[in-house]
Structure 1
Amino acid sequence: MAVRLFSHELSDLCLGKPALRSLSITSTVADALEVLKTSGDNSVSVWSCDREVAGDYGDDCRCVGRVCMVDLICYLCKDEKLASPSLALKEPVSVLLPKIHGLVLHVEPSCSLLHAIDLIVGGAQNLVVPIKTELGNKRKQHQKQSPTVTIHKGREFCWLTQEDIIRFLLSFIGLFSPIPAFSIGTLGIISSEILTIEYHSPASAAIGAISRALMDQTSVAVVDSEGTLVGEISPFTLACCDETVAAAIKTLSSGDLMAYIDCGGPPKDLVRVVSARLKERNLNGMLEHLTTSLSCGGFSSSSSSWSDEESTGVQVSPLPRSLRHSRSMSYSARMVRGAEAIVCHPKSSLVAVMIQAISHRVNYVWVIEDDCSLVGIVTFSDMLKVFREHMEPIA
């Protein structure tokens, strides 16, 4: 049964997924920002029809990367960009693309699930898969109204991500018994290679770590002086904010940044602090941009609208505001809403951690001890390695 599961074609996983939004490699950063703000998507694909850029694929256009709001935020965190964001937004979108190749790969709909897992374990973030449906007249008419939907030679494309594959495997989790019931500690998938920053440290010191976390699809842990996990600066949360968060990252401490991106938008007192510090540093371009954005209601911070208890089926106890480092004994706690630090214990089962991560729409779960000291992190990639190793003898 498990062998047949891994032989599934990726077209099966694309059912119901929306077509990719796309931009040309010749677009600007402002174009990317506009699509991210108006489409409701967390990311946009960037395409090239230039053989030197796309590679030797004949006449085919290729997806050469993926851009999200976090790429744009980190790009704007440089002083020269904050001084004149209007000029920064005129730069080509290619400045936002990571220099590492292989993060986005094209695969055919007939590609097997097993091969897809191998690609993701090997470092791919997104797989670009043609959607196997004929485009009817209504769809073509819709395409005229939505030019950012990717269609090439009559085909649309979709993303497949680590989360998509984990969700699919979870639907057939009984086939892998007894492995899903083993603890993550027993399976040896807790990684101690984590990105951290101290609570009182400037958030700007985490810019490089945020970029790395985005690439690795993890997060930056915010800890106190004793190594206790207080919260996190998560690319998944930042992706739901707007570009003005760059100003907060450059001017606030890590702890204050968590409060700034907390559910409901930035507190007024922190907005005043950010504005004052931008003015002190003569970063008037971003100050004006921030003022305009806030007056238009531009900032958005998305936390889950559903009940955590209902979505996970377990007790969830959020910690108080990060200024009060109360410790929670609930391993499924959101430690700061909006900072979304989802945690588990080394003795938590693999299937429980999978459900936690999927329920909260993150690719990882932090691992802590009873005293909330940080042990490490478990990622979707590590989980996929377990399932892949389970198939090794018969693959």
Structure 2
Amino acid sequence: MAVRFLNGEVSELCLGKPELTRVAANATISDALTALKTSRDSHVSVWACGGGGPNGSCICVGKFCVADFILFLCREENLTHPFKAFEAPVSDVLPKGLPIVRHLDPSSSLLEAIDYILDGAQNLLIPIQNHHIQRKNFLHRQASSACTHYNGQEYCWLTQEDVVRFILNSVGAFSPIPTCTIDSLNIINNDIMMVPYDKPVSSALGYFHRALIEQTSVAVVDDQNRLIGEISPSTLACCDETAAAAIMALTAMDLMTYIDSGGPPEDLVQLVKMKLEEKKLEGMAELMDDFCESSMSSSCSSDDEYGFSKNGWPSSRSGGSNRSYPGRRSEAIVCSRGSSLVAVMIQALAHRVSCVWVMEEDRTVVGNVTFAGMLRVFRSCAAT
């Protein structure tokens, strides 16, 4: 039964998807941020046309979110003049190497989709046949994917979360594997990224880049490796650009406070400015002033739903906007070695996280379980 399920067409996952927001690869980051703000999506798709595809057609070459730009601002060449980074093409932000977005035929099997994910894909872009669009829209509320017309074709992209959720709905087909412990299934990833709570969070920039690629998180721990919280790409994606300044100025513990829901406390904002001045990062300090002033003015005005800085750059934080995502918190979702696979799947999907931390009873971090790790277990059923 499991093999038959895995051989089903991936188009079955593409029901009821909302419109996909897209930008051209040569668009400026400012344009991409504007598209992101107005779409209320967490990511926008990035497309290359002409020579980028067969016969001059267009292909999706990646995706963009605020977390990408925050880390881009933290590059050494952008710290002195951060406002120039807004003028860079969005393609400069895309990760190099293996593509994280892959095109897939709608008649491809779920097994093929999982193989792409295990090869590093975060999103699968699939052309949708018109007769599928008219089917029941029962996945619309839960989907983290989207459809749009491009090249005269409607597309849908699927995330790792979509695939795991789809499998959970038919998890009985894989019995008894879902009830086995994650320890017995050997899916606990021990190659984890940790940063001490009292260390400058800028020392973990390499970890944040890796977390974006691997769809995981960075653990914040005490001096005995006990878990305090996490900093995840989904959390950074819900922040505004001033998070880049906070990363360059704060400890890991202070950054968790800065990025938690509700916005940073004023004393922490002032601490960031002071630290930036000490490090002679006047450009980042100006960025803080610019966007904080924008946030204050937009909260007092209902004329413009989407915020812009005083220099005209689109701001990720706007007092008149209800733009928010479930990932904006630093609290980590945890389980134990003895947790069942299905229990961890439910935890991850309920909290909309791609990484569940595995802890001992004393809160010492053992490792984590990711969507990719879960899918690897179900993929193995095809070989048995």
TM range (shorter): 0.7 to 0.9
**Contact preservation (8 Å) 1:244, 1:299:** no
- In 2 relative to 1, CA 283–38 (structure 1 residues): closer, same or farther, beyond 3 Å? farther
C-alpha distance after superposition, 1:297-329 (max 9, x if no partner): 353795649xxxxxxxxxxxxxxxxxxxxxxxx
1:90 maps to what in 2?
87
- In 2 relative to 1, CA 304–46 (structure 1 residues): closer, same or farther, beyond 3 Å? closer
Structure 1 residue matching 2:67: 3-state secondary structure:
helix
2:270 maps to what in 1?
272
Question: 1:283: Cα distance to partner?
Answer: 3.0
Question: 1:19: Cα distance to partner?
Answer: 2.8
- In 2 relative to 1, CA 192–237 (structure 1 residues): closer, same or farther, beyond 3 Å? same
1:145 maps to what in 2?
none
Distance 2:174 2:187 in 1: 17
Structure 2 residue matching 1:296: 3-state secondary structure:
helix
1:13 maps to what in 2?
13
Q: Pairwise mapping of residues 53-202 of structure 1 onto structure 2 (< 5 A)?
A: 54-55=52-53, 57-133=54-130, 150-202=148-200
Specify which of 282, 285, 299 is matched with residue 284 of structure 1. Answer: 282
Distance 2:76 2:57 in 1: 39
Distance 2:77 2:93 in 1: 16
Question: 1:84: Cα distance to partner?
Answer: 2.1
Structure 2 residue matching 1:184: 3-state secondary structure:
coil
Specify which of 346, 349, 357 is matched with residue 366 of structure 1. Answer: 357
**Contact preservation (8 Å) 2:211, 2:218:** yes
1:260 maps to what in 2?
258
Distance 1:282 1:149 in 2: 45
Distance 1:74 1:46 in 2: 18
TM norm structure 1: 0.83
C-alpha distance after superposition, 1:189-215 (max 9, x if no partner): 101100111111101011110010010
> What do you get for the CA RMSD once the two structures are aligned?
2.1
TM norm structure 2: 0.86
For the pair 1:33 / 2:12, whether they are aligned, the reply is: no
Q: Pairwise mapping of residues 178-327 of structure 1 onto structure 2 (< 5 A)?
A: 178-297=176-295, 299=317, 302=324, 304=326
**Contact preservation (8 Å) 1:260, 1:266:** yes
Structure 1 residue matching 2:219: 3-state secondary structure:
strand
Question: 1:285: Cα distance to partner?
Answer: 3.1
The AA in structure 2 aligned to 1:247 is A
The AA in structure 2 aligned to 1:7 is N
The AA in structure 1 aligned to 2:317 is F
2:139 maps to what in 1?
none
Distance 2:109 2:19 in 1: 20
Question: 1:80: Cα distance to partner?
Answer: 3.9
Distance 2:188 2:276 in 1: 40
Distance 1:81 1:342 in 2: 33
**Contact preservation (8 Å) 1:265, 1:299:** no
**Contact preservation (8 Å) 1:218, 1:234:** yes
Listed as ranges, the gaps of 5+ residues in structure 2 are 135-145, 296-315
For the pair 1:338 / 2:329, whether they are aligned, the reply is: yes
The AA in structure 2 aligned to 1:27 is A
**Contact preservation (8 Å) 2:221, 2:228:** yes
Distance 2:154 2:19 in 1: 6
Question: 1:151: Cα distance to partner?
Answer: 2.3
2:338 maps to what in 1?
347
The AA in structure 1 aligned to 2:24 is S
